[in-house]
Structure 1
Amino acid sequence: MKKLKLLLVQLSLLVLGYSPAYAQQSAGPGPAVGVTPSSLAVSLYKTSHLVFPFAVKSVDRGSGEILVEQDAALGNVLRVKAGKPGFRETNLTVITADGGLYSFLVTYAADPAVLTLLLPEATPPGSVPALVGETGCNEASAQRDAARVAADKTPLPGRRDNKFGMQLALRGIYVRGETMYYRLRLRNNSDIPYAADGLRFLIRDKQHTRRTATQEQELQPCYVYGGPASVAAQSERDLVVALPKVTLPATKYLAIRLMEKNGGRHLQLKVPYHMLLRAKPFSLPKGADDRIVSF
């Protein structure tokens, strides 16, 4: 009788889809790791500033009784104030472009002791998957890698356009992962300052007839190092533009167009498909993290 009861229990567990082995496999990779929140006191009459190492991509308020605004010019700065005096303790969660997750417990203080917090990189880095923007680039990695490219002074084959005392030069193309980096130099040999109105990257057909509609595709940069592309008289500046990785057939080329604001000194470079294929690869040294380093 005991054996029969035991058999019935085992059959019931199998019908319910349970077994000790199955339960062990469903346990998951391990226990969740908690993120300890930082303390943040805010006031009704004073503005607190949170300065993050990378651009802020997501903000979640636990209550509408705190006011949060992202600085339009500096994407890595948040302004925080109290919506009313004496609000109940609430929370604030911020995610940055590098995947850093920051958690705060927010309380009211009429006169906060600290009004500006300079936040370090999240530890461990990549608390959440690094965010990829609409351009397909990881903005945080693009920012770091563009600085490495700017520091590389190796002369590479490039293209130049000279007009009206202005020069736009492509001084190298680099690639890492799914992102390509274009190192540009803008030189102003005139006595008139140059203010750029736009820097565009266009994929175009090499040849087209009047009966055929011209098709072009614009690539959107995910990061520009050294911008904006404006140059004082008798000076020069370097730019590094991060774009999604692209290769082209022999029938197309990449056009880099620089337009002058309220002027006519427009410049253009034509980059053939074979120059894109000669992009210089680079990677981090062994054991290094994803911080800015020299080659």
Structure 2
Amino acid sequence: MKKVRTVVMMYVILFTIGAFAQHTSKNYFVNIESDSVSIGYSKTTNIVFPYAIKSVDLGSQDILVQKAKGLENILQIKAAKREFIQTNLTVVTADGKLYSFVLSYNEQSPQLNLSINKTKAEGQEIYFSDESRNGEEIEEYSKLAFYDKKKIRGENENKHDIKLQLNGIFIQKNMMYFRIAVRNNSTITYDIDQLRFFIRDTKKVKRTASQEIEILPFYILNDVAAIDEESENTFVFALPKFTIPEEKYLAIQLLEKNGGRHLELDVKNKKIEKVTVLPTL
């Protein structure tokens, strides 16, 4: 009888331990509250984070987002179109914390400068990117790319008497240098609204936040706001080095300010892989 009681007690203990293990292995979700931010089309909203920004995800292509030039913890946001439908923005910082924002359109009174609260009392630090320490070096490599005689062919679009041409791709260390010429053969000055770089999907998907990724230049050589009539300007864009995954391509987009003479180059990865290495300074 004593042995029977011992066996029963052992069974009860093992059952209790098993039930407790099953209970503790269950996942419990904790709701992460979102902050509401109002942004505009003609004004830029700045958000200062307590740590360097590591990841940004956009809920819609109706907003424009970039890190402040040379800084790692300041995010700049503005509307890409007026009266956009409310959307969201997700940011992950170097300390592993996730921030969620609901973005709404407000052209009259957008929130311009915001700072994420810190647990410690000292003032907000500014985190400079590693690239900012090498700004002068990148400028010199941009000049080397500008004067380099090696050219690539076949990457151009010509319409509305405007020619957009990618005629050189170079690399040195962790930066790539894209040499782009814009020729205005018309009798009307071409005012540049945007000249931007995107990695896009070859096959369009109806709803996905990763369908289009913008690559922001660290430095632009010969940056001008307009191309005079019957004249040309050659830019050099210094971009963080990258390659393009399968079923994607690089789109170089040129938009005219207050006009309709828009052009776009679609560049495949095989062209980018033929990059020219610049000589070391």
Given candidates 144, 168, 171, the residue that maps to 1:175 is: 171
- Following TM superposition, by how much is the alpha carbon of 1:276 offset from its aligned partner in structure 2, in angstroms? 1.2
- Following TM superposition, by how much is the alpha carbon of 1:182 offset from its aligned partner in structure 2, in angstroms? 0.3
Secondary structure of residue in 1 paired with 2:136: helix
Is the 1:185–1:236 Cα contact (8 Å) retained in structure 2?
yes
Query: What is the distance in 1 between the residues matched to 2:183 and 2:203?
Result: 30
Among the aligned pairs, what percent are the same residue? 39
Given candidates 253, 278, 282, the residue that maps to 2:278 is: 282
Structure-2 residue corresponding to 1:200? 196
Secondary structure of residue in 2 paired with 1:148: helix
Seen in structure 2, the aligned counterparts of structure 1 residues 221 and 209 have a Cα distance that, compared at 3 Å, is closer
Query: What is the distance in 1 between the residues matched to 2:253 and 2:273?
Result: 21
1:202-221 alignment runs, 5 A limit:
202-210=198-206, 215-221=211-217
Is the 2:164–2:180 Cα contact (8 Å) retained in structure 1?
yes
Seen in structure 2, the aligned counterparts of structure 1 residues 259 and 132 have a Cα distance that, compared at 3 Å, is same
1:1-295 alignment runs, 5 A limit:
133=129, 138-210=134-206, 215-284=211-280, 290=281
Seen in structure 2, the aligned counterparts of structure 1 residues 186 and 154 have a Cα distance that, compared at 3 Å, is same
One-letter amino acid of the structure 1 residue matched with residue 148 of structure 2: D
> What residue ranges of structure 2 are gaps of 5+ in the alignment?
1-126
One-letter amino acid of the structure 1 residue matched with residue 141 of structure 2: D
Q: May I ask how many residue pairs the two structures share in their alignment?
A: 155
Greater than 6 Å deviation, 4+ residue runs? 134-137
Is the 1:259–1:267 Cα contact (8 Å) retained in structure 2?
yes
- Following TM superposition, by how much is the alpha carbon of 1:270 offset from its aligned partner in structure 2, in angstroms? 0.6
Secondary structure of residue in 2 paired with 1:142: helix
Query: What is the distance in 1 between the residues matched to 2:131 and 2:214?
Result: 11
TM-score w.r.t. the length of structure 2 is: 0.51
Deviations 1:59-84 (A, max 9, x none): xxxxxxxxxxxxxxxxxxxxxxxxxx
Deviations 1:108-167 (A, max 9, x none): xxxxxxxxxxxxxxxxxxxxxxx9648788322211100011111223234111111101
Seen in structure 2, the aligned counterparts of structure 1 residues 204 and 164 have a Cα distance that, compared at 3 Å, is same
- The two structures, once aligned, show a CA RMSD in angstroms of 2.2
> What residue ranges of structure 1 are gaps of 5+ in the alignment?
1-130, 285-289, 291-295
Query: What is the distance in 1 between the residues matched to 2:162 and 2:275?
Result: 26
Is the 1:135–1:221 Cα contact (8 Å) retained in structure 2?
no
One-letter amino acid of the structure 2 residue matched with residue 268 of structure 1: E
Deviations 1:75-98 (A, max 9, x none): xxxxxxxxxxxxxxxxxxxxxxxx
Seen in structure 2, the aligned counterparts of structure 1 residues 163 and 241 have a Cα distance that, compared at 3 Å, is same
Is the 1:208–1:214 Cα contact (8 Å) retained in structure 2?
no
Query: What is the distance in 1 between the residues matched to 2:233 and 2:133?
Result: 24
- Following TM superposition, by how much is the alpha carbon of 1:194 offset from its aligned partner in structure 2, in angstroms? 0.5
